[in-house]
Structure 1
């Protein structure tokens, strides 16, 4: 009896390792299946919050789900035709073209000193009448501006009348004739015209008032006297500014100086009138930096019909820069820039796109020059490049340029 129990126990002990190994094998198989199930995870490129463990479509946008595997280090993306259409991905073949660039210089409109007129007193006396009493008043050439009473002028006129009378009384006396000419010359220095001197001789009465007329069209920019004020000879009375032609001054960094030359034609965009660019010829380049800054200055002149612009307005000067005549260029939207540099997306096969680091050159509003990174004939993504960039980060978990930063 005891012998039979012993045999049974030994048989059971022999079966235990086999049962244990079978159980472990079954557990390992289940773990492997679970691991595979975890790896095979799918997500929506446009809605990463949608995650499933099987293929399908996104319940939000209807796009096909794609495999989500951050362990995949391949630096490329593969999209289906529907994904490319929904992302509006379009491409262009990179090629060479003439690349022109421009620099925008900050500028301002200032008064043209050549259009400025200074009115002063030619005689010492009193401002008897001031016909323009405030600044900002528009005046026209020949308009009477002010009148000065001068006792000294009255004395010179009286002297001239006496000299002429003596010369008539003694026609053969050269000395009296010379005295008369000298008295006449003094009056001319006091701004007396030949017509006024003729009227003085005809009337025989002195006129101690000197009238001053505008020498050109303009605005009264400064008024230095008041009516009844005494002024000395040469004292400033008012300043007139003509706005028919204005200066445009623009700031220039020394490194940009080789791009500018006298006689060069540039475009000027006046603030508020950007749709009406004005042509201007640069006629002056400052040979020294402005005091207290590291800026040079360039200047030109523009016409101002109807006085539509006023000094003080801001203006941008567009400086053309001639680029390489055989430059490899792309549309500006094709280049993605971040803290790690600039890159583009190149189509390497059907539905397959990979990032390429590029080095850019000059750039304008529409195109950018590519110096390194791609070659002529490469198919580059133009629209949808940012979507590819975002999808790469979602699917790979890293920046597309991370592999290029060694």
Structure 2
């Protein structure tokens, strides 16, 4: 009995150990098999699952594989491309790279923009206020009261004294009829004859009051202004219709500005303007747009706009410069910073950041140039976020991806075992040869004919994708190599496999 008890205890312990091992094996097998049973193409990321679309070699991004494995092109593992990262029109950039590249974004917004703009105008006389002072009788200038152009004159101020002998006959006839007591009809007819000779009414009254004919009369300024033109000197003879003085009014002046075509189309007659003296910003004047001259300068592509400016104080003189602040109606416009726009000559592009964090180049159409901002007519919407710094790098990357996508097939191919070579893209060529020399940037190979390029046997250099690539290859090795067009030597190695060691 004493010997039977230990034996029974041993058998019981062995049974318990066997049962525990069985359950432990089941739990271990279940934990091991769970990830293996996961659906291919699905990877866990935190608590959410990310779907893998395909695997590829970053060095040959056009070739796609439906399973993970080792790249047939390079000594590296294939990299997965997830559904939330793949986009035909977008580029994914990690936050760290964005910070290193200094990528900065801004929001497209709609703002009220006034069509106001500034221009520089030159003061000129208002030709509509110019008055010509002429004589209607032959005579002589006995004395000039104004002797130089650009003198200021007031309305009624004497300008010159003229002697007109042709007026003496008509005046003496009138005086003779009055002395003879002629009828009123004859006297009235004599007065009418004097008016027909352009004898001033004041001179007729002066002649009747004095009882003698008056041949000298004084010309007075009809308006206030400056003598813009002086056509006579003392002692010269004058004839009917001759312009003796031209007086330019100063109550209003013109400010003529050169306006670019892009801004001229927004001008309308009657627009108000604030004119500030260029030499003294404290002096401001009001005015309005009166005329846009219908002529474009072929050299500057500008139009002349004529603004009427108030000058009641007479402070503005021809030749002065005025800074014209033209006010226009406000309108709601969609604007972006000018630095966010890429102009290539054939298209205008903005880089838009999408909701998933990807960046997408988008063609846009621009409107008015508003200085630091520019109006967007089509292509963007209010609230879109665009890249304002570093957009050229993103646009280049997006265009590169679209080109690679067009050059290569988009269907995934089976990866196969790591040792099995996958079909090569059409732009990759294969050859056999001997390694002649190796340097930091490339490998020189004496190879046989390349059938895909119709090359004869030759010795030539091929660039390496990286400086450390193909470190196990030595000069003298017989190799089978694959290459494609590109790199610093026009053709770049994709893979190099040793066939025989160097001798």
TM-score scaled by length of structure 2: 0.50
What pairs with 1:5-404 in structure 2 (closer than 5 Å)?
75=91, 77-80=93-96, 83=99, 87=102, 91-101=105-115, 109-167=123-181, 173-174=182-183, 177-188=184-195, 189-194=197-202, 196-248=203-255, 261-262=268-269, 264-267=270-273, 272=278, 280-284=287-291, 299-311=306-318, 318=326, 320=328, 325=332, 327-339=333-345, 341-348=347-354, 355-381=361-387, 385-386=388-389, 388-389=390-391, 392=393, 398=396
Tell whether the 8 Å contact from 2:273 to 2:326 is kept in structure 1 after alignment. yes
CA contact (8 A) 1:105 1:319 kept: no
Q: Alpha carbons of 1:110 and 1:400: their partners in 2 closer, same or farther (altered >3 Å)?
A: farther
Structure 2's unaligned 5+ residue stretches are: 1-73, 76-88, 407-503
State whether residues 110 and 249 of structure 1, in contact with CA within 8 Å, keep that contact through their aligned partners in structure 2.
yes
Hey, what's the Cα distance between the residues in 1 that align with 2:370 and 2:98?
A: 34
Change (3 A) 1:243 1:400: farther
The answer for the alignment partner of 1:9 in structure 2 is: none
Alignment RMSD: 4.6
Structure 1: which 5+ runs fail to align?
A: 1-34, 37-72, 168-172
Structure 1 residue 166, shift from structure 2 partner: 1.4
How many Å separate the matches in 1 of 2:114 and 2:335?
11
Structure with greater proportional helix content: 1
Q: CA deviation at 1:218?
A: 0.8
Change beyond 3 A, Cα 1:179–1:221: same
Contact 1:124 1:231 in 2 (8 A): yes
Deviation of the 1:78 alpha carbon: 4.1
Distance 1:272 1:403, change over 3 A: farther
Conservation of the 8 A alpha-carbon contact between 1:103 and 1:318: yes
Whichever of the two has the greater Rg, that structure is 2
Secondary structure of residue in 2 paired with 1:129: strand
Report the alpha carbon displacement of residue 290 of structure 1 after superposing the two structures with TM: 8.0
Residue by residue, what CA displacement relative to the aligned partner does 1:158-207 show, whole Å, maximum 9, x if unpaired? Answer: 2222121112xxxxx53xx333223333444534234x433333322333
The structure that is strand-richer by fraction is: 2
1:257 to partner: Cα distance: 8.4
* Deviation, structure 1 residue 318: 4.3
Q: In the superposition, relative to structure 1, how do residues 404 and 268 fare at CA in structure 2: closer, same or farther (>3 Å)?
A: farther
Cα separation, partners in 2 of 1:347 and 1:155, compared to 1, 3 Å: same
Q: How many residues align?
A: 316
SS in 2 for 1:370: strand
1: CA distance between counterparts of 2:315 and 2:122? Answer: 15
Q: Is the 8 A contact 1:78 1:352 kept in 2?
A: no
Match of 1:27?
A: none
Q: Does the C-alpha gap of structure 1 residues 246 and 310 become closer, same or farther in structure 2, counting only changes over 3 Å?
A: same
Could you tell me how far apart the structure 2 residues matched to 1:277 and 1:203 are?
Answer: 54
Secondary structure of 1:306's partner?
coil
Moved more, 108-117 or 96-105: 96-105
- Change in Cα spacing, 1:193 to 1:292, as seen in structure 2 (3 Å) is farther
Contact 1:161 1:204 in 2 (8 A): yes
The higher relative CO (CA closer than 8 Å, separation ≥ 6) is in 1
Aligned residue number for residue 500 of structure 2: none
Secondary structure in structure 1 of the residue aligned to 2:364: strand
